[in-house]
Structure 1
């Protein structure tokens, strides 16, 4: 049995490496869903910062200080843990944005992006940790974030399609 598990693991790693894909870890992961909702509808949900709590189960509240633009800052209050300050580091209106939250000796990045083809919209939420403490925060926070991300994405899809 152990040999079979090892063989399957090696095969999975080989296929992922051959396709140029990185395997998800607690320090870098993403989730994507497809919807019939228009990209603008998803974009409106994503950029309505005070209402992120409607689809993000791990969040009590969120505030953006200023316009939804590069350099704007805000505050996230998670349901567990201290408040976190964030900064929008990349914004391509209607397409994607990235925000950064500083962590001790590292950072957490969240990137959300949209693609649309043949009347279908794919929306993706990518999360990664950087810095000397990325492994520590991946274990402490990444595991939980990774576990609740599919539920958040499903809630966004439901809101967008309603």
Structure 2
């Protein structure tokens, strides 16, 4: 039997330097400067596999994330676990040619009941991605 999974992906093209975007991602304590969905962040780093992040959305309880994959300057994946569910978000930089980069966010919700729960919670979690990613690349472009 195939494991249940819900996925969503959003991407944006930018002329911002990939190094500038990576610096913003690696500066976890500064995520709130460009992500309006973060009221408070508690980073237990360095920015590497195993790092812990407690991210608090406005008016909500903190969400515990762990960095589970990281390719320096290219991608990182964080993971949150709620009961039998695993929420994995991959953030990736894809070179498109001189001066162009694609920024990709992909969420996968897997585990027990993911095919039912994913469509219920996933869209709410990812709804702000277009705005957040636009703010990220604008922030990176400003340097």
- Relative to the length of structure 2, the TM-score reads 0.86
Aligned residue number for residue 6 of structure 2: 27
**TM superposition shift of 1:83:** 1.1
3-state SS of paired residue (1:27)? strand
Alpha carbons of 1:133 and 1:77: their partners in 2 closer, same or farther (altered >3 Å)?
farther
Residue-pair matches, total: 136
Paired residues of 1:129 and 1:138 also in contact (CA < 8 A): no
- Partners in 2 of 1:74 and 1:146 — Cα distance? 18
- Partners in 2 of 1:132 and 1:107 — Cα distance? 9
Which structure features the higher share of strand residues? 2
Q: Relative contact order, CA 8 A, sep 6+: which one is greater?
A: 2
Aligned pairs (5 A) from 1:109-148: 109-116=88-95, 117-134=97-114, 135-140=116-121, 142-148=122-128
Please report the RMSD computed on the Cα atoms of aligned residues, expressed in angstroms: 1.7
- Partners in 2 of 1:36 and 1:86 — Cα distance? 29
- Partners in 1 of 2:20 and 2:13 — Cα distance? 13
Q: Runs of 5+ in structure 1 lacking a partner?
A: 1-25
Which structure features the higher share of helix residues? 1
Paired residues of 1:58 and 1:80 also in contact (CA < 8 A): no
**TM superposition shift of 1:106:** 0.9
Deviations 1:30-87 (A, max 9, x none): 1111111111001011111112122222221222212111111121112243212111
Aligned residue number for residue 18 of structure 1: none
Answer with 1 or 2: which has the greater Rg: 1
- Relative to the length of structure 1, the TM-score reads 0.77
Paired residues of 1:105 and 1:132 also in contact (CA < 8 A): yes
Instruction: Give the one of 56, 65, 70 matched to 1:91.
Output: 70
Higher mean displacement: 146-155 or 49-58: 49-58
**Structure 1 stretches of 4+ moved >6 Å:** none
Alpha carbons of 1:29 and 1:100: their partners in 2 closer, same or farther (altered >3 Å)?
same
